Chains A and B, each alone.
Chain A
Amino acid sequence: MSTLVVRQLQKRYGTRPVLDGVDLEVPDQGLTVVFGGPGSGKSTLLRVVAGLEAADAGTVWLRGQDVTRTAPQDRQLAYVPQNFALYPQMTAFENIAYPLRLRREPSSTITQRVREIAETLRIEDVLSQRPDQLSGGQKQRVAIARGLIKRADIYLLDDPLIGLDYKVRERLVEELRDLQERLGALFLYATSDPLESLLLGDFIAVLDHGRIVDHGTPDALYEAPRHLWTRLNLGFPLTNAVSGRLQKTADGWQVVTPWFRTAVELDPPADHDERPVWATFRAERITLEPSDGTNPLTFAAEIVLEEDIGAETVLYLTAADGAELYALVPHREGAAPGPGSVTVGFRPDDVMLYDAKTQMGIGRGVATDGRG
């Protein structure tokens, strides 16, 4: 059994289920990301594990012990909450030192450890200030320092980098990775940011509507997500999806959408009917005006907005039926920015299919010609 296991966790707020039978066994080593959209239940899951909320049903196991009814202070966890909750009557130094004071660590150890973590998080110069004198970013870093200063074998971090500016986030992502490797502890990190999930996670659990719908390594989840939500949201920009229908042909199955049709390979191969599906393809696999036949699925679209992000450009497009889609293409040197018609192309084997009802993956396109 791993150090942190949750079994069939359920939690409702009023009549709304927030956790709906969550099962998760967190790998002992490495950093596990719980990735989910706002309201998916990430924070609630971490709060239940930390003991700050009681589950309606299910169990939490830490280090082989059932701690479902154990008080938070007896769970021996380090927890960084999403909100700062810095004690206003204490300086930043005292806030950070607080968990160590509770453990009655010697003063010299406290001072040394606070200085170390303050240096890591670049807040050495604000240690003597009170929370109301700090900027939002500084407060957040003080809160992170307070959560991380305690030596523990389990660290829970609830979207701690949310709202920080890009540079600070980038550095803190690196620092958190380093820290995790140095401590060799279990890190459970909740975030709604797909890039943060892919950068930080050794393992990702995807939470949607209170259920773990997908889990695996970042590569595996990026390449072949089992659930539609993961496919659409884990990446930047968001993955494109068009609704369609499976159709039986003499040679096998094909998917028919308003934008294209193409032969598909279903998994499992049998037991399918002509059901509605979502056909998805990634924004970065799209090419514009394909001419060499490498991207045989093509259709016309209108550019609505063009966002230059340096070496690449994000295009916001609408297809003929008015549906929106995204494309991530290399920087378009010399192209006229703004509205215009383009032909969008991608490979059939970039298409992944999801059952419209269950939202689970049921197959992918095969590399044959097909035109809409």
Chain B
Amino acid sequence: MKPKVKARLQQGFLWLVAVAFFLPVLWLFLAAFKTASQILAIPPRWIFRPTWQGLTYMASHQAFWSHAVNSVVISLSAVVIAIVVSFVAAYSFSRFRLRGTNFMMFVLLSIRMVPGAAVVVPMYLMYTALGWINSYPGIILFYAMFSIPFSVWILKGFIDGVSPRFDEAAQSDGASRLHVMFRIVLPQVLPGIVAAFIFNTIFVWNEFLFDFIIGGNQVATIPVALASGLYTSQGIDWQYIASLTFVYTLPLMVVIYFFQKYLLVGMTFGTVRGEV
């Protein structure tokens, strides 16, 4: 077989695999533009006249707006708090190198290694005792706490890469430590901040279990809404599910498409930086 033909075949096979993986997402996206009967049609209808009916139907639900706003507010607030705290912590770990830093870093990360199901009951009891169930500060702080270890790891890797000579130069120029952190070091680790931000936003945006258990109606996010609030008197409301899933997935798809390289940074704790 000619090398050119072989390469084409291999490429074709890879495309086939990629499309197969994308099919469920495609089905979801298409479903958002179908009528209720078209969604459940067997065999699935790939060719149809798109309609806004599902999306307008979803927008007319009061609950949709509350869930969407909760998802955005809780995700962004938790991640912003986590990034600020993590940056300060990572700077301290990187620059002051206290005895036992490595062990502390391990302990910090271990919280992310524990399966959610293992801690959900103690968390529920704790939150009940504190009266934080179904409260914004409660759920935001929880997600921030969960996002901090990962962010510290990522950011420490980046801050280690910024020579302490910059800190010293700025301090002898008259800058305070806080000024050095936020005006000299922070601009140099922006890719790390972006990586930590993206990675943690994806985690919080997708999280279901804890919002379901220690959250409540007031702070329910889209994942909770998808799983629990879709039954009507006629059964499962597939049109609402399809539209909500589309609106829920689209922002992440866009972010992942444009910031894929930062995901690699996140998945390797900042040790592989690639083109970032």
CB within 8 Å of B: which residues of A? 47, 50-52, 71-73, 77-79, 81, 83, 85, 87-89, 98-99, 102-103, 143, 146, 150
Contact = CB atoms under 8 A, between A and B. Distances in A.
Contacts of B170: 87, 98
A186 B166 CA distance: 25
Nearest to A81: B169
Nearest to B184: A87
A51 B171 CA distance: 9
Given A81-B165, A83-B165, A89 B187 contact: yes
B275 interface: no
A102 B188 contact: no
Contact of B163 (A71, A85, A99): A85
B40 to A, nearest CB: 55
B188 A52 contact: no
Interface of chain B, helix or strand or loop or mixed? Answer: helix
Contacts, number: 56
Contacts of A73: 171-176
B237 interface: no
Given A99-B173, A102-B174, A150-B173, A72 B168 contact: yes
A88 B165 CA distance: 13
* Interface size classification for chain B: 10 to 19
Nearest to A72: B171
B179 interface: yes
Contacts of B168: 47, 50, 52, 72, 81, 85
Contacts of B188: 88-89
Given A73-B174, A150-B174, A85 B179 contact: no
A102 B179 contact: yes
Contacts of B187: 87, 89
A143 B173 CA distance: 11
Output the residue of B165, B174, B176 with the most chain A CB within 10 A. Answer: B174
Contacts of B165: 81, 83, 85
A52 B175 contact: no
Contact of B174 (A52, A81, A99): A99
Contacts of B184: 87
A77 B168 CA distance: 13
A79 B172 CA distance: 6
B166 A102 contact: no
B76 to A, nearest CB: 25
A73 B177 CA distance: 9
Nearest to B174: A102
23 contacts: A52-B168, A52-B171, A71-B171, A72-B172, A73-B171, A73-B172, A73-B173, A78-B172, A79-B169, A81-B165, A81-B172, A83-B165, A85-B165, A87-B166, A87-B169, A87-B170, A87-B187, A89-B187, A98-B170, A102-B173, A102-B175, A103-B174, A143-B169
A160 to B, nearest CB: 13
Contacts of B166: 85, 87
Closest 5 pairs between A and B when the two form their complex, measured CB to CB = A79-B172, A85-B169, A99-B173, A89-B187, A85-B165
Interface string B164-198: 01101111111110010000100110000000000
Contacts of A71: 171
A98 B169 CA distance: 11
Contacts of B174: 73, 99, 102-103, 150
